[in-house]
Structure 1
Amino acid sequence: MLVVALIAGGAGGVIGTFVTSSGGSSSSEDPEGQGPDINEPPPEAPERAPDSVAGVAQRVSPSVVSLRSEDPRIGGGGSGFVIEGDYVVTNDHVSSELEADGIIIEYSDGSSSGADVVGSDPSSDLAVLELEEPSEVDALAFGDSDEAIVGDEVIAIGAPLGLAGTVTQGIISALDRPVSPDGGDTQFFALQTDAAINPGNSGGPLVDMQGRVIGVNSMIYSMGGGPLGDQPVGSIGLGFAIPSTEAETVIARMVDHGEESTAYAELGVTYDHESTVVGAVIADGSDAVESGGAADQAGLEPGDVIVSFDGRRVNSGGELQAMVRDKTPGDEVEVEYERGGDRETVTVTLGPDE
C-alpha cells in the first residue's frame, strides 16, 4: 500500500505527509552556467567542475544545516538551509515539533547556533528561523522552479536518518503534483523527484546543477511497512518538494511580517473526495457551498462537477484546490461545471473578501 509521509525526524519520528522535486536551466544571470557565487570548496579538496554533482555539493553543503531540539531527550529533527539575512528555511512540520523545547542549528563544520522561529505556514509546510550566532557561510539563492522541466537533473542535500551532509542525485520526475502537507484539505502543486529522500531530509534544499534552490524537500510516497500499511519505511523514488516560486513568496512574507499564515485564494466549497467521477465534485449537504463565498455568489451548488478552471481541465477535487491556491484573492476566473447532464460556464471572483 502506498502511503504519504512527512519526512521529519533523524532516526525516527516520521510524521504523515510529503517530500521533493525540481530543476531548471541556466538563467541570464549565470551566462556560463556555473550558478550563483557561493561557498568555495576547501583548498585541500580535489578540484571538480562547478556544474558537476561533486562541484555543486562542495559549494552548497556548507549552507545546509541540521535541526534538533535543545533537549537531548527529544528525538526527531530535520534539515534546512541558510538564506540571505541569516535566516534558515525549513519545513513547518520540522520546526513545530522542536520549537517548544528550543531549536539548535548545526552546521556541516560542527558549529551550532540557537534559532528562533520568525514565521510559519502549515498550509505550505514552510517555516523561517533567525540564527542567534550565524556562521560564515554563504546564503543559498533561489532558482526559478517554473523553468524546470521533466528530466532536469537535481540534487538533494540534508540529514536523512541523522546522517548530516548526505547528497543524493536524481531528476525531476513530474511537475504540478497536487499534494497535501497537512494530510487534510489544503493542497498545492509540488515538484516530484526520484532523488533519494528519507526521514531527516525534511526542509533541506533540492538544487539544480548550478546550485540554486528550486525546491524545499517536504514529503515522500512510501510503501506501508505495518499490517495496516501505515508505517512509512523510506524512499521508493517518489519524493516531493515545495517549488521555489511558492517558497520565495511565503518566506518573504514571513520575514517581512512574521505571519503565521498567508491569505490564499478560496472557492468556498467542500469537495467529495470519495467520488469516482472525473472532475471536482462539490459535496452534498447544505454547508458544502459556503454561504456568501465565491462559489455561492457565482451560483454553484452541491453536487455540481467542476470540469474546467481558468481554461485548465480539472480531474479531481485535490487538483482543483491546487489550481485555486495558485491564484490571488480577487482574481476572476472562468469555471466550467456540469449539473444534471448540462454543462455551464460561469465567472467566479475568488475569495476571501478583503
Structure 2
Amino acid sequence: MLAAALIAGGAGGAVGTMVTSAGGSAGADHPDQQGPDINEPPPEAPERDPESVAGVAQRVSPSVVSLRSADPRIAGGGSGFVIEGDYVVTNDHVSSELEGEGIIIEYSDGSSSGAEVVGSDPSSDLSVLELDEPSEVDALEFGDSEEAIVGDEVIAIGAPLGLAGTVTQGIISALDRPVSPDGGDTQFFAIQTDAAINPGNSGGPLVDLQGRVIGVNSMIYSMGGGPFGDQPVGSIGLGFAIPSTEAETVINRMIDHGEESTAYADLGVAYDHESTVVGAAIADDPDAVEAGGAADQAGLEPGDVIVSFDGRRVNSGGELQAMVRDKSPGDEVEVEYERDGERAEVTVTLGPDE
C-alpha cells in the first residue's frame, strides 16, 4: 500500500498527516546566466568545485534552518530556508504545529532566533516567517521550475529526524504530479524527486547545481499496510516538492498582504473521487454543482465526466483540480465532457475559490 504523507516532525516528533491522494534549468549550465551569490565555504573546508554537489552544499547549507517549538516539551519540527528580506520559508504543516508556543529558528552554526508567522496558505502548504534576530547569511534565490526537466540533478538540504544539515542528492523523477498537501480536495502539480527526504525535511529547499531553489520539499510516498503501515514512514525515493514558480508567487503575496488573500481559480463542483471512470467525474448529487458557480453557468451537471480541460486530457478529479489551480479567476477555458454516453464541449469562465 502506498501512503502519501506530509513530512513533518523531527527527532521524536509526530510523522505527519495522512493525505488522500527563479532562471534556467535545474541542472544545466547556461553560460549567459550567473548563479546566485551564496555563502562562501568555511575557510577551513577543503576546496570543491562551486557547482559540484559538495560545493553547492557548502554554500547553501548556512541559509537552511531548522524549526522547533519554543516549548521543549513539544516534539517535532521541520526545515526552512532564508530568502531576501530575512524571511524564512517553510511548510504550513510545519509552522502550524509549532506556532502555538512560539517558533525557534536554528542556523547551521548553532545560533538561533525567534520567529513569527507572517502568512500561511494551507492549500499550498507554504508559510513565511519573520525573524526576530536574523543571522548574516545570504538569501537563497528561486530558480525557474518551469525550465526543469526530468533527469536534472537536484539536492535536498534539511533536518530529517532532527539531523540538521543533512544533504541528499537525486534527480527530478517526474513533473506535474497532482498531490494534495492537506488531505482534502485541493491538489496542485508537484515536482517528484528520488533525493531522499524524510520526516523533518518538510519546508527545506530542493536546489539545482547552481544553488537555486526549484522546489520546497513537502511530502513523500511510503509503503505500509495501515495509514503509515506498521513501520515508521521513511523515504522510498518518492518525494514531492512545491515548484518554485508557485511557491514564489504565493510567498510574495503573503509577504505583501499577510495571510494568503488572493483567491484561486475554481470550477464550482464537487468530485466523485471514488469513480473508476477515466476523467473527472462530478458527483451525482444535486448539490455537486455550486449554484451560480462557473460550472453551473456553463451548463455542467451532476454526473458529468470532464475528459478534457483547456486542450489537456483529464484522467482524474485530482488532476483536474491541479489544472484548475494553475489558472486564474476569470480565465476562459474549453471543457470537454461526457453525459449519457455523448461528448460535448463548452467554454467555462472560472470563478474565484470562495
TM-score per shorter chain, which class? Answer: over 0.9
> Contact 2:145 / 2:244 at 8 angstroms: preserved in 1?
yes
Residues 322-337 of structure 1: matches in 2 within 5 Å?
A: 322-337=322-337
Name 1:16's counterpart in structure 2: 17
> Contact 1:3 / 1:230 at 8 angstroms: preserved in 2?
no
SS at match of 2:351: coil
Q: What's the offset of the Cα at 1:31?
A: 2.9
Name 1:170's counterpart in structure 2: 170
For 2:40 and 2:72, the matched residues in 1 are separated by: 33
Name 1:31's counterpart in structure 2: 32
Q: Which AA in structure 1 matches 2:248?
A: E
4+ residue runs over 6 A deviation: none
> Contact 2:15 / 2:199 at 8 angstroms: preserved in 1?
yes
> Contact 1:272 / 1:317 at 8 angstroms: preserved in 2?
yes
Name 1:293's counterpart in structure 2: 293
For 1:228 and 1:173, the matched residues in 2 are separated by: 23
Q: What's the offset of the Cα at 1:229?
A: 3.1
> Contact 1:64 / 1:157 at 8 angstroms: preserved in 2?
yes
Gaps of 5+ in 2: none
Q: What's the offset of the Cα at 1:342?
A: 0.9
For 1:232 and 1:241, the matched residues in 2 are separated by: 21
Residues 1-354 of structure 1: matches in 2 within 5 Å?
A: 1-11=1-11, 12-16=13-17, 24-26=26-28, 31=32, 35-224=35-224, 229=229, 232-352=232-352
Cα deviation code 1:74-101 (max 9, x no counterpart): 0000000000001000000000000010
Q: Which AA in structure 1 matches 2:14?
A: G
For 1:313 and 1:105, the matched residues in 2 are separated by: 44
SS at match of 1:98: helix
> Contact 1:215 / 1:244 at 8 angstroms: preserved in 2?
yes
> Contact 2:253 / 2:261 at 8 angstroms: preserved in 1?
no
Q: What's the offset of the Cα at 1:261?
A: 4.8
For 2:152 and 2:246, the matched residues in 1 are separated by: 19
Q: What's the offset of the Cα at 1:232?
A: 4.9
Cα deviation code 1:24-80 (max 9, x no counterpart): 24586x6366x2111000111100001100000000000000000000000000000
The 1:301/1:202 distance shift into structure 2, 3 A limit, reads same
Q: Which AA in structure 2 matches 1:335?
A: V
Q: What's the offset of the Cα at 1:225?
A: 6.0
Q: What's the offset of the Cα at 1:341?
A: 1.1
For 2:166 and 2:2, the matched residues in 1 are separated by: 25
Cα deviation code 1:246-269 (max 9, x no counterpart): 000000000000024541000000
Q: Which AA in structure 2 matches 1:24?
A: A
> Contact 1:6 / 1:16 at 8 angstroms: preserved in 2?
yes
Q: What's the offset of the Cα at 1:344?
A: 0.4
TM-score (norm 1): 0.95
Q: Which AA in structure 1 matches 2:146?
A: D
After superposition, the CA RMSD in angstroms is 1.8
SS at match of 1:328: coil
The 1:171/1:315 distance shift into structure 2, 3 A limit, reads same
Matched residues, number: 349
Q: What's the offset of the Cα at 1:238?
A: 0.2
> Contact 1:23 / 1:214 at 8 angstroms: preserved in 2?
no
> Contact 1:156 / 1:167 at 8 angstroms: preserved in 2?
yes
Identity of aligned residues (%): 87
Q: What's the offset of the Cα at 1:224?
A: 1.7
